[in-house]
Amino acid sequence: MADTFETLTLTLDTGEVKIKLRPDLAPEHVARIGELANDGFYDGVVFHRVIDGFMAQGGDPTGTGMHGSDKPNLKAEFSKEPHVRGVASMARAQSPNSANSQFFICLDDARFLDGQYTVWGEVTDGMDAVDALPKGEPPRTPGKIVKAKAE
């Protein structure tokens, strides 16, 4: 994938979020996130799982947490980067090599996830918009991504 993305902008219904992408940690995951964002895949997708004090998860076009894109799953790109407040990381099934399109943003430190999930970015602006997402598994009225754009 030729494009190198540096920033992901998520326009949520709660506000705008800027994420500094980390291709130095997870080049394939950053490329996938950027490609899906710029293809419009994330536009209109909800945060189907938001746990107060833990994380906000989205990226499933069905909003159920059971699906992803039609692209092949990604091989894990685990690193020593800590899962702390504001970190963006890939969600996955039981297999380490099952990340596809779902991701989560840590609402608080979650160091027990370190080395088990692929960190691909960190929120640099707009964490208040992430904090404002409706809570629940799923939320009664889920927050959503209005528009996603990678640059």
Domain housing 38: 7-140
CATH of the domain at 113: 2.40.100.10
Is 1 among the domain residues?
A: no
Structure-token pair, residue 131:
């904090």
The answer as to whether 150 is a domain residue is: no
Cα separation of 119 and 69, whole Å?
A: 19
d(CA 23, CA 86): 17
The mean pLDDT value for 103-124 works out to 98
Q: Is the pTM of this model over 0.75?
A: yes
Structural domain contains residue 64: yes
Residue 38 maps to a domain:
yes
Q: What pLDDT is recorded for position 135?
A: 98
Mean pLDDT of the 104-133 span: 99
Q: What is the structure's pLDDT at 4?
A: 85
Q: Do 9 and 146 meet the contact criterion of CB atoms below 8 Å apart?
A: no
Confidence of residue 2 (pLDDT cuts 50, 70, 90): very low
The mean pLDDT of 10-14, rounded to a whole number, is: 99
Q: Is 147 among the domain residues? A: no
Q: Which DSSP string do the residues of 32-53 spell out, in sequence order?
A: HHHHHHHTTTTTT-B--EEETT
Residue 97 domain-assigned (yes or no): yes
> Residue 123: pLDDT above 50?
yes
Residue 145 within any structural domain of the chain: no
Are 87 and 26 a contacting pair, CB within 8 Å? no
Residue 96 inside a domain? The answer is: yes
Span 124-137, mean pLDDT? Answer: 99
**Contact (CB, 8 A) for 91 and 104:** yes
Q: What is the pLDDT of residue 62?
A: 97
Q: Which long-range contacts (CB under 8 A, 24 or more apart) does 92-98 make?
A: 92/117, 92/118, 97/73, 98/73
pLDDT in tens, 69-92: 999 999 999 999 999 999 999 999
Domains: count for the chain:
1
Q: What is the pLDDT of residue 96?
A: 96
Mean of all residue pLDDT scores within the chain: 97
